[in-house]
Amino acid sequence: MTKTKNIILYFFLLLTINLQGQTGEHPNLFLTKTDVTLIKQNLGNVQLFDKSYKALKYDIDIEIKKPIDVPIPKDPAGGYTHYRHKQNYKIMFGAGILWQISGEKKYAEFVKNMLLKYAKIYPKLPLHPVTKSYARGKLFWQQLNEAVWLVYTSIAYDCIYNYLSEKERNTIEKQLLFPYADFLSIKNPKVFNRIHNHGVWAVAAVGMTGFATGNKELIKRAFDGIGKARGEAGFYVQINKLFSPQGYYTEGPYYERYALTPYILFAQAVNNNEPEKHIFEYRDSVLQKAVRTTLQLTNQEGKFFPFNDAIKEMSLYTESMVNAVDIVYTQSPYNKELLSIVKQQNKVIVSGAGLKAAIDLQNNKAKPFNRESLQINDGNLGKQGAIGILRTSDNKNNITVLMKYASQGLGHGHFDRLSIMMYNNGKEILPDYGAVRYVNILYKEGGRYLPENKSWAKQTIAHNTIVIDSSSNFGGNYKIANKYHAKSIFFDAKIDKIQLMSAKETNAYKGVNLQRTIALINDTNIFKHPVLIDVFKILSDTSAHAIDLPYYYKGQFMHSSIDYKPQTTNKTQLGNKSGYQHLWINAIGQCSDTTFKFIFMNNNKFYSLTSNIAGNNKIYFVQTGAADPNFNLRCENGLIFHLNKIKNYVFANTIECFGFHNPASEITGNLSTSVKTTNVIFYNEEYCIIKITKSDNKNVYLAITDNESKTQHIVNTKQGKFEWQGMYHLFY
Amino acid sequence: MTKTKNIILYFFLLLTINLQGQTGEHPNLFLTKTDVTLIKQNLGNVQLFDKSYKALKYDIDIEIKKPIDVPIPKDPAGGYTHYRHKQNYKIMFGAGILWQISGEKKYAEFVKNMLLKYAKIYPKLPLHPVTKSYARGKLFWQQLNEAVWLVYTSIAYDCIYNYLSEKERNTIEKQLLFPYADFLSIKNPKVFNRIHNHGVWAVAAVGMTGFATGNKELIKRAFDGIGKARGEAGFYVQINKLFSPQGYYTEGPYYERYALTPYILFAQAVNNNEPEKHIFEYRDSVLQKAVRTTLQLTNQEGKFFPFNDAIKEMSLYTESMVNAVDIVYTQSPYNKELLSIVKQQNKVIVSGAGLKAAIDLQNNKAKPFNRESLQINDGNLGKQGAIGILRTSDNKNNITVLMKYASQGLGHGHFDRLSIMMYNNGKEILPDYGAVRYVNILYKEGGRYLPENKSWAKQTIAHNTIVIDSSSNFGGNYKIANKYHAKSIFFDAKIDKIQLMSAKETNAYKGVNLQRTIALINDTNIFKHPVLIDVFKILSDTSAHAIDLPYYYKGQFMHSSIDYKPQTTNKTQLGNKSGYQHLWINAIGQCSDTTFKFIFMNNNKFYSLTSNIAGNNKIYFVQTGAADPNFNLRCENGLIFHLNKIKNYVFANTIECFGFHNPASEITGNLSTSVKTTNVIFYNEEYCIIKITKSDNKNVYLAITDNESKTQHIVNTKQGKFEWQGMYHLFY
């Protein structure tokens, strides 16, 4: 039979087989009977699926040859027993799938024997001996891992259900699965009911175990929570409360990609067993939107934007995103752009969803996935600020600027209101530090968050945003920070060449109003090169403040227009608290009444930062790494604009990307910049007008307001009268 | 006509056309008449050639539309006039070739008009106003660039020779080419006669101008030098003296790839005009060997090993290597492995040689290019030490260790006798700093070598080798260093799994004998993971010395087995001279009588450095960047083992590559190492025996001698009698 014929058969089968699984039928969680039939029919004809299937088989075949080890739990994350129990559920999950597809008994036997071993030790297991978590598990030091184990193990159990004798099922359910699910739910209602990714994992684990065993009580717990009124706990509530209407999860994309897994896996199980719930369409298809939003929160290299606690290497290539993309594509196969992501991921999950995605990709149905300029609202009603992303689409410079004007982002949030990060072609230009953690690396406190995560990464000074009086937003108090969010003033990315966003934060510092406006101009009629304009307005009620504005940059120092005093023989800290203690002073620059220009090179391009900072102010050239006795921090460089005792100020800074250096030919060129000086020519509570003088001495003016009530604006300045409509205008 | 037919035609044409050019015929330097005919016949049929041709045409078509600018020289490297004159010769070179192939007059016109503009300004040009070079040019600040200009311009002139009227030729030759060639030769005999890459460029420029114009006097100068006896100057002497028999150029690969261009281009011109000289076969085909040796001196990513003054980004993708590989392949087309390099370079030169390489590649004639373990001897007789390279060939770990035990490497040499560098899969593990320079980047002193190149990069402490009494090799005196070279003791890479090299340096420090032995073991019967054993023996005549042994490493600090005192609030310099002033002390570790273990992570693998340093010694954890007021240095990390006042010592250190971290899955594993402790159990002047105890408590012993006169060795130690044959033995 030819490949095409075989693939066509797929669709016939879809029509002839009863598409909806029956409750009580097995498998019916990750795989359905229909899936298994289709996969068997198509094996050998769908390249990407075959490759993924072979990879799974290769890995599992190695693992199931080893003796089964179910050790008594002992180690923290990064240690052996932690690793072993994680490996065990992965192997059971894979072996369960392979049993269904290949029909080879060795896989079912392996899962059975391992489950029986767990059933033997589980009843007597005490709480895990490591006491570092607020919610200890039994197999693992924290209940989060405990729940993940059951999510995958319930799938494995579902896969071999029909292989087991009733006696075996009895043993496994009564001695392992039910008490395990009870531990995660009725024994720990606080975690189970918690509106948090830990809660979602527990809910999914318990619900999936319910479907796998036909235990309706467990399914009920998953939807209703423990001892709570309707609408206060359970899966629907987790969907309602943890996502914004666009599917944004407030902790940020690093945690969203992780949190997505239990949502998507459980939703698939719900859909297989109770299709009448239309769970993937629930709340205007928010689970599907969540996957697409998470993908929009990646840079050109597919890595997640690392705001809040985030490991910078994490990307859309991770297993949880392969899982989410395949399943969501299969739920709404009109989203052909998801197939482009499948292609990049270059693997699919071994399930009906993975098969569907692989077949459609093979039939050239993929459409390009465009990373767009967009504002992603935060809060379950979408009213708690947003993440704003501006992106140029340009062959040479694919610049992305992200501003965070969202809510705090729960416990993993950073105190970084109105902070920005900038990328070009997927490379960091103005980076966000991310988290201080080496996940699962034993040498670094077992892979947990390190002390510097709190003392540095979460602090405001670690981010590209304003710090008032050397103190973090909300005094670094998470409970207070969690009550407030920043606010979008305007977001306009309709015209690709001139995109703007503006946001306000009025709670981070008492009596201080902060408004930041970012314009991304990529129009050779205005500037020869792409220019980011960054206008940061600080208005204080009464007292004067010390103001710091850091720009961390990746790349090599090239040029500073002002004299500075370098610390060449003895290096001191910038401060002693709020993150300042982690910064070495490399040099101190003393401003005079001139424009400040700083040039650095990154990835063979040049970036010129031009600032209006003038008068008797200081610029600190800093480097991370102080107060770091265990060498947990990366060494990164930054500039900090420091104003001492000032009530109101407007920073008008630009960053121009220009020039090139070719290391193979050693040629450098195109070094003349467009921006000569930047100045604020007018500001008050309502308005702000900045002037950028170009190297040809022509001027560009940017007028900004935060007054949404008026449509027509007139401002008289010493440099003339400015008239415009709307929230901003660029005069050029 | 089909592609195949057309390509076959290539060979018929080769048979029917007179293969040897005639003196006086044009073109006959970079292209010959035969080449042009063949190219015209094959255009459109050879993918890589067509692509390269189109790329050249695209670039040149843009350039020749712009107004011709031949500015009065003014700027240093990195400045406009410097850039302009460099661009001009490149455009003339390209346009000359395009005229020959396309026959479109615009190309010939452009070259003609530009040459006439140069002819107008040249007679009155004074020496270049920038006075930073020992040998100033007229168009450029240094004669090196001046010569390069003429090499390419002579080719352009040759290409349009027949297009020009006799009057035009007269003007160009008498007002530009001849006085220009005179300036490089009879007006500056010192540079012209100098056995140095500057001399080679001048010789090639003058000789090629001779061939292009039919001026026999210029050709004679190129072969004989100016006012020197036979065998003292000129092209043959440059070939004899600058290369070792294997084609190694003593400055190192960064300069070799650059120096190769005039050799190869001039040799090709000689071959076209005076084929009876068999210049490519001269001295046992040393020019061909030079190209292959330079390629061996690249890492897995194709970047040149950056010892001596070298820019680390420079790679085999550079134009000069494309040029060299294509031309040498065409001279000896049995070297099919060069076609693999052509494939990686993914472009060819637009000439007969490029066509030949592209056709053979298209016909699938490429053979794999293997980077081998080999010893590359230095010195024009191959007797001045060597560069030793050991390489494992392994899918997971492709480890390369390079040791430099060669001569000084002329003025671009570093004081780094017996230094090593280590790579894994093309990534730096133990790096060499390279040069402190940003070539052609105006912001960094016009792209010249920066002061820190001398104060840091050249100093011994900047390298992974022994420093005695905090002073660089030979007191940092280049003239003395240039007199001496290190010496190979043995080099054995016959068995892939156990490779060793050993070398001695007895002149770098008065009264101190240094011997370093590197073993690269990649045999799971011996160690679970790849292990590098590094045995450094220091024997002093009389007095005790302070000894420093640095290991610079790339990656993140994971673990140190000893306590250390970090500098967390105030960071100080390690010293005040000989490069020590550029090191910050991050922490000071105090050894006790135990094994020292240090673990770092690089590119998701782990490396464990185990050392026998014990007793009352110090370990400095250092970072580059002190005494660097202009931020010219990169921030890199290292450990320095410091012994105070000791006469003799043997370091027995191992570096084991183990474990993995997968950032997409966040899994870490395989973290148990093989090496537990390392100890020296015996040493004297002749012998050294070290013991490595493994985690299973079994021992591996490495016995080393430098006594070549004996074949059988017996050493009695407290731990037993060791008997072996040959220069070393591994007991396991």
Please state the ipTM of this predicted complex.
0.91
| Nearest-CA distance A364 → chain B (Å) | 27
Of B311, B629, B668, the CB nearest to A442: B668
* Bridge-based pairing state of the strands A531-540 and A556-560: unpaired
The residue written with tokens 């105070």 in the block is B644
* Bridge-based pairing state of the strands A699-705 and A728-731: antiparallel
Pick the catalytic residue from B82, B128, B196, B412. B412
Residue B123 confidence (pLDDT): 96
Query: Are A634 and B556 a contacting pair at CB < 8 A?
Result: yes
Residue B20 confidence (pLDDT): 42
CB atoms within 10 A of CB B15: 7
User: Could you give the count of Cα atoms lying within 13 Å of B15 in the half-sphere of its Cβ?
Assistant: 4
How far are the Cα atoms of A610, B248, B250, B380, B410 from residue B245, in angstroms, in the given order? 55, 7, 12, 6, 18
C-alpha span between B65 and B61 (Å, rounded): 7
C-alpha span between A691 and A42 (Å, rounded): 64
Q: Which chain A positions have a beta carbon within 8 Å of B442's beta carbon?
A: 668, 671
Query: Are B318 and A599 a contacting pair at CB < 8 A?
Result: no
How far are the Cα atoms of A494, B95, B96, B113, B399 from residue B92, in angstroms, in the given order? 45, 5, 6, 10, 44
Pick the catalytic residue from A85, A198, A412, A463. A412
Sheet architecture: strand order including B675-683 = B675-683, B687-694, B699-705, B728-731
B601 inside 8 A of chain A by CB: yes
Q: What are phi and psi of A699, to 5 degrees?
A: -110, 145
B571 inside 8 A of chain A by CB: yes
Angle between helices B319-331 and B352-362 (to 10 degrees): 80
Of A83, A319, A661, the CB nearest to B665: A319
Give the largest CA-CA distance in chain A: 90
Residue of A148, A571, A586, A588 to mutate when probing chain B, most B C-beta within 10 A: A571
Sheet architecture: strand order including B419-424 = B374-377, B386-391, B399-405, B419-424, B427-430
- Could you say which residues from 425 to 454 on chain B have a Cβ atom under 8 Å away from some Cβ of chain A? 438-444, 447
Of B318, B570, B621, the CB nearest to A570: B570
This prediction's pTM: 0.92
C-alpha span between B709 and B214 (Å, rounded): 58
| Nearest-CA distance A335 → chain B (Å) | 24
Of B566, B571, B667, the CB nearest to A571: B571
Report the residue of chain B nearest A445, measured CA to CA: B558
pLDDT tens sequence across B125-137: 999 999 989 999 9
For A460, which DSSP code?
A: G
Query: Are B559 and A443 a contacting pair at CB < 8 A?
Result: yes
Query: Are A557 and B631 a contacting pair at CB < 8 A?
Result: yes
SS3 string of B45-73? CCHHHHHHHHHHHHHHHHHHHCCCCCCCC
How far are the Cα atoms of A87, A310, A315, A452 from residue B668, in angstroms, in the given order? 11, 18, 17, 22
Residue B12 confidence (pLDDT): 52
Q: Which chain B positions have a beta carbon within 8 Å of A587's beta carbon?
A: 629
Q: What residue ranges of chain A have pLDDT lower than 50?
A: 1-2, 15-22
pLDDT band with cut points at 50, 70 and 90 for residue B615: confident
H-assigned helices in B275-317: 282-296
Q: Residues B71, B365: contact at Cβ < 8 Å?
A: no
C-alpha span between B218 and B728 (Å, rounded): 55
Residue B21 confidence (pLDDT): 44
Strands (E), A141-239: none
| C-alpha A519, offset from chain centre | 24
Pick the catalytic residue from B89, B107, B152, B255. B255
What domains can you pick out in chain B, each with its CATH number?
Answer: 3-362 (1.50.10.100), 374-731 (2.70.98.70)
Query: Are A627 and B568 a contacting pair at CB < 8 A?
Result: yes
Q: Which chain B positions have a beta carbon within 8 Å of A557's beta carbon?
A: 630-631
Nearest to A402 by CA among A369, A424, A380: A424
C-alpha span between B243 and B259 (Å, rounded): 11
| Nearest-CA distance B78 → chain A (Å) | 7
Q: Which of helix, strand or coil describes residue A145?
A: helix
Residue A12 confidence (pLDDT): 52
Q: Residues A84, A71: contact at Cβ < 8 Å?
A: yes
B2 inside 8 A of chain A by CB: no
Report the residue of chain A nearest B303, measured CA to CA: A664
Residue A1 confidence (pLDDT): 41
The residue written with tokens 């008997």 in the block is B723
The residue written with tokens 């950032």 in the block is B663
End-to-end CA distance of chain B: 66
Nearest to A436 by CA among A457, A410, A407, A411: A457
The residue written with tokens 């080393």 in the block is B704
Residue B11 confidence (pLDDT): 54
- Label residue B178 exposed, middle or buried (CB < 10 Å: 0-12, 13-18, 19+): middle
End-to-end CA distance of chain A: 66
Of A315, A443, A571, the CB nearest to B558: A443
Query: Are A311 and B556 a contacting pair at CB < 8 A?
Result: no
Query: Are B661 and A440 a contacting pair at CB < 8 A?
Result: yes
Q: Residues A492, A499: contact at Cβ < 8 Å?
A: yes
pLDDT tens sequence across B38-86: 999 999 999 999 999 999 999 999 999 999 999 999 998 878 899 999 9
Residue of A346, A668, A670, A673 to mutate when probing chain B, most B C-beta within 10 A: A668
pLDDT for B450 beyond 80:
yes
For B32, which DSSP code?
A: B
C-alpha span between B536 and B515 (Å, rounded): 6
pLDDT band with cut points at 50, 70 and 90 for residue B7: low
Q: Which chain A positions have a beta carbon within 8 Å of B313's beta carbon?
A: 663-664
Residue A625 confidence (pLDDT): 97
Q: Tokens representing B333?
A: 């087309």
pLDDT for B294 beyond 90:
yes
How far are the Cα atoms of B316, B400, B429, B519, B609 from residue B654, in angstroms, in the given order? 32, 15, 14, 9, 6
Q: Which chain B positions have a beta carbon within 8 Å of A631's beta carbon?
A: 556-557, 566, 586, 621
Bond before B530 cis per omega within 30 degrees = no
A638 Cβ contact list (under 8 Å, min separation 6): A550, A551, A552, A553, A583, A621, A622, A623, A624
User: Could you give the count of Cα atoms lying within 13 Å of A542 in the half-sphere of its Cβ?
Assistant: 2
Residue A7 confidence (pLDDT): 56
Q: Is B255 a catalytic residue?
A: yes
Residue A263, H or E segment: helix A253-273
Nearest to B32 by CA among B22, B47, B42: B22
Residue A693, H or E segment: strand A687-694
Q: What are phi and psi of A402, to 5 degrees?
A: -115, 135
A66 inside 8 A of chain B by CB: no
How far are the Cα atoms of A531, A653, A693, A701, A730 from residue A679, in angstroms, in the given order? 15, 9, 8, 10, 15
Q: Which chain B positions have a beta carbon within 8 Å of A556's beta carbon?
A: 438, 631, 634
Q: Residues A609, A551: contact at Cβ < 8 Å?
A: yes
The residue written with tokens 């415009």 in the block is A724
CB atoms within 10 A of CB A587: 22
Residue of B573, B620, B631 to mutate when probing chain A, most A C-beta within 10 A: B631
| C-alpha B608, offset from chain centre | 29
